[in-house]
């Protein structure tokens, strides 16, 4: 019984800790369109293959190519080109963490296809247009490509999972995705925004089981 309980607790803790990592549909995602997030604009890189840019915020519209949004593949687009999107939440949110999930055609350095040179995230409390000056990004990445072995369901993935030291209160957001190739556009699978980290369910479970153990031990002592 004790062993079973320990196993059960360990599995619960593992599940609680691992759930947000690759869950593309997540009710705690404050940027999900199911939470009322509205995509306000995007730039000329557009969206390819009849897809819909809302698909990167939990949507399922148009042609869904491996469940994702894809920006243009075009010879007129060059490495360093910015594919951008802006969006707004119904009210200001406290952004504590974001996860960007991107698919690629192969494994770096074998394939540079769909690698991105960078990802810039902007936030504001003013209703800015896409082409407004958003000031300095709240996050800026370097070159991104799938790490070796990061291969799930037949797709190579890479991602950014970033937690801010201090949460950022904002209602308007914009992201720049910097092209890494002149022939293949970035495949953005999902962009999730979360509130400030709260005590993990795993920690609560551990605390609860610890207390239960103490009570049981006391009862045993009394008996
Ligand atoms: Ca998606
Ligand atoms: Ca999402």
Q: DSSP labels for 86-98?
A: EEEEEEEEEEEEE
Q: Which ligand is nearest to the CA of 25?
A: 2
Q: Which ligand is nearest to the CA of 51?
A: 1
Helix or strand or coil: residue 193?
Answer: strand
The neighbouring-strand residues paired with 162 are 98
pLDDT at 98: 96
- Distance from Cα 55 to the centre of ligand 2, integer Å: 9
Q: Where are the domains of the chain?
A: 24-197
Which pLDDT tens digit goes with each residue over 105-127?
776 666 667 778 889 999 999 99
* Residue 13: its H or E element: helix 2-22
Q: Which ligand is nearest to the CA of 24?
A: 2
Mean per-residue pLDDT of the chain? 79
Q: Which band of pLDDT confidence, cut at 50, 70 and 90, is reported for residue 208? A: low
Q: For residues 181 and 115, what is the distance between their CA atoms, to the nearest angstrom?
A: 7
Q: Is the pLDDT of residue 143 over 70?
A: yes
Superfamily for domain range 24-197: Galactose-binding domain-like (2.60.120.260)
Question: Which residue is it, tokens 């308007």?
Answer: 172
Q: Which ligand is nearest to the CA of 192?
A: 2
- Distance from Cα 12 to the centre of ligand 2, integer Å: 23
C-alpha closest to that of 68 among 79, 85, 52: 52
Average pLDDT of the segment spanning 152-166:
85
- Distance from Cα 195 to the centre of ligand 1, integer Å: 19
- Distance from Cα 35 to the centre of ligand 2, integer Å: 10
Cα radius of gyration (the chain): 21
Q: Which band of pLDDT confidence, cut at 50, 70 and 90, is reported for residue 179? A: confident
Cα three-residue angle 142-103-99, rounded to 5 degrees: 60
- Distance from Cα 49 to the centre of ligand 1, integer Å: 15
């Amino acid at each position: 019984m004790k062993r079973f309980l320990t196993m059960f607790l360990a599995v619960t803790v593992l599940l609680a800790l691992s759930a947000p990592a690759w869950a593309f549909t997540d009710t705690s995602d404050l940027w999900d369109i199911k939470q009322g997030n509205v995509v306000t604009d995007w730039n000329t890189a557009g969206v390819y293959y009849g897809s819909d840019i809302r698909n990167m915020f939990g949507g399922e519209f148009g042609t869904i190519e491996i469940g994702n949004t894809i920006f243009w593949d075009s010879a007129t687009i060059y490495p360093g080109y910015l594919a951008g999107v802006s969006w707004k939440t119904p009210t200001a949110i406290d952004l504590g963490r974001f996860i960007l999930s991107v698919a690629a055609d192969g494994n770096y350095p074998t394939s540079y296809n769909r690698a991105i040179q960078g990802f810039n995230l902007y936030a504001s409390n003013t209703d800015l247009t896409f082409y407004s000056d958003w000031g300095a990004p709240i996050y800026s990445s370097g070159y991104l490509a799938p790490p070796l072995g990061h291969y799930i369901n037949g797709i190579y993935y890479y991602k950014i999972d970033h937690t801010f030291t201090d949460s950022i209160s904002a209602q308007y957001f914009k992201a720049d995705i910097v092209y890494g190739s002149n022939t293949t556009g970035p495949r953005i699978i999902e962009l999730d925004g979360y509130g400030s980290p709260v005590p993990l369910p795993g920690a609560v479970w551990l605390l609860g089981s610890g207390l239960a153990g103490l009570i049981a031990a006391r009862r045993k002592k009394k008996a």
